[in-house]
């Protein structure tokens, strides 16, 4: 039995309500081709990930037929508590803490990690304890100036101003917009606050990847949209790298974030994002 993962899976439930003891969940988001067929494998979903109506709940999907809009689940997984969820509650497929905790040398077979299996730039100082690297363990000629990327030595955040498509900044403001090169890719973070003269179109908001790099399409990150004075104040979303090397913003139902979604934008509304972009 394997634990399955897929990119960009999220949606809203249609049960009205989903009771605390229900073992099936209904959502149009389960009926997409990308949602896997599940018979013996499992996958995790997080209900109400932003905690809008209470503590988030993790459920384990144990059965799903191809293109069906219903899944069978085990409730209250990973130490969370099963509770009632109203129709329209957001669900999201995500990693959980135990998956990260279980990655360690005790769970690796002999010879599972070899030089041939490690991608270039996949190992850096953050993954070693003090004193674990010394000249005794480094062969002659293995470390040269040609093999060191200057951007990775500094390993610091670099500020930038996004160049938007389908959004006119006007007197809007950017905050904490920065990128950080790390082995294997780059982190990008930031916030944009809507101004009185900011405007958008009905096409999705997006901006160019900073730093002059070309990322891989596997990039996926998180976004939040703040409706100043609205209820709820924050709306969950995602962001990803599109085919034009732009960071594209999506709402919780996987539609484009645009002038009318996830709400009609006005002054002091905000867009927040954090995304890791793999770079070859």
Residue 98 confidence (pLDDT): 86
Q: Are 272 and 173 found together in one domain? A: yes
> Is residue 71 exposed (0-12), middle (13-18) or buried (19+ Cβ within 10 Å)?
buried
pLDDT, tens digit, 9 for 90 and up, residues 150-163: 555 556 899 999 99
3-class state of residue 96 by DSSP: coil
Residue 280 confidence (pLDDT): 75
Q: Are 75 and 179 found together in one domain? A: no
In a domain, 129, yes or no: no
Reading the block at residue 233, the tokens are: 């104040």
Q: Are 177 and 90 found together in one domain? A: no
In a domain, 209, yes or no: yes
In a domain, 201, yes or no: yes
The answer to whether 215 and 279 are in contact (CB under 8 A) is: yes
In a domain, 125, yes or no: no
Q: Are 82 and 162 found together in one domain? A: no
Residue 100 confidence (pLDDT): 78
Q: Are 93 and 189 found together in one domain? A: no
How many residues are present in the chain? Answer: 280
The answer to whether 71 and 32 are in contact (CB under 8 A) is: no
CA distance 100 to 32: 27
Q: Among the three residues 72, 98, 124, which one is the final residue of a domain in this structure?
A: 98
221-233 burial: b if 16+ Cβ within 10 Å, else e: bebbbbbeeeeee
In a domain, 134, yes or no: no
In a domain, 145, yes or no: no
Q: Among the three residues 98, 115, 135, which one is the final residue of a domain in this structure?
A: 98
In a domain, 1, yes or no: no
Reading the block at residue 104, the tokens are: 């360690």
Residues of the chain with pLDDT under 50: none
The answer to whether 25 and 91 are in contact (CB under 8 A) is: yes
Q: Are 91 and 180 found together in one domain? A: no
Residue 9 confidence (pLDDT): 93
The domain in which residue 28 lies consists of 10-98
Per the structure, the count of domains in the chain is 2
């Amino acid at each position: 039995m394997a634990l399955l993962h897929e990119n960009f899976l999220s949606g809203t439930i249609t049960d009205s309500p989903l009771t605390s003891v229900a073992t099936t969940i209904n959502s149009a988001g389960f009926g997409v081709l990308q949602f896997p067929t599940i018979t013996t494998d499992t996958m995790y979903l997080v209900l109400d990930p932003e905690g809008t109506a209470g503590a988030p709940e993790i459920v384990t999907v144990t059965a799903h037929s191809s293109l069906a809009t219903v899944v069978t689940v085990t409730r209250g997984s990973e130490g969370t508590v099963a509770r009632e969820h109203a129709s329209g509650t957001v669900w999201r497929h995500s990693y959980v803490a135990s998956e990260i905790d279980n990655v360690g040398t005790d769970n690796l077979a002999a010879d599972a990690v070899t030089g041939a299996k490690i991608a270039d730039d996949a190992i850096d100082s953050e993954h070693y304890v003090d004193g674990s690297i010394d000249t005794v363990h480094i062969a002659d000629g293995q470390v040269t100036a040609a093999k060191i990327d200057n951007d990775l030595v500094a390993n610091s955040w670099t500020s930038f101003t996004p160049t938007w498509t389908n959004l006119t900044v006007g007197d809007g403001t950017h905050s904490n917009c920065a990128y950080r090169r790390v082995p294997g890719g780059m982190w990008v973070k930031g916030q944009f606050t809507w101004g009185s003269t900011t405007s958008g179109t009905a096409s999705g908001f997006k901006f160019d990847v900073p730093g002059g790099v070309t990322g891989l399409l596997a990039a996926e990150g998180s976004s939040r949209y703040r409706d100043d004075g609205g209820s709820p104040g924050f709306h969950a979303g995602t962001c990803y790298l599109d085919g034009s090397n732009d960071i594209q913003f999506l709402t919780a139902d996987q539609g484009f974030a645009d002038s009318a979604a996830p709400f009609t934008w006005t002054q002091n509304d905000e867009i927040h994002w954090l995304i890791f972009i793999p770079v070859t």
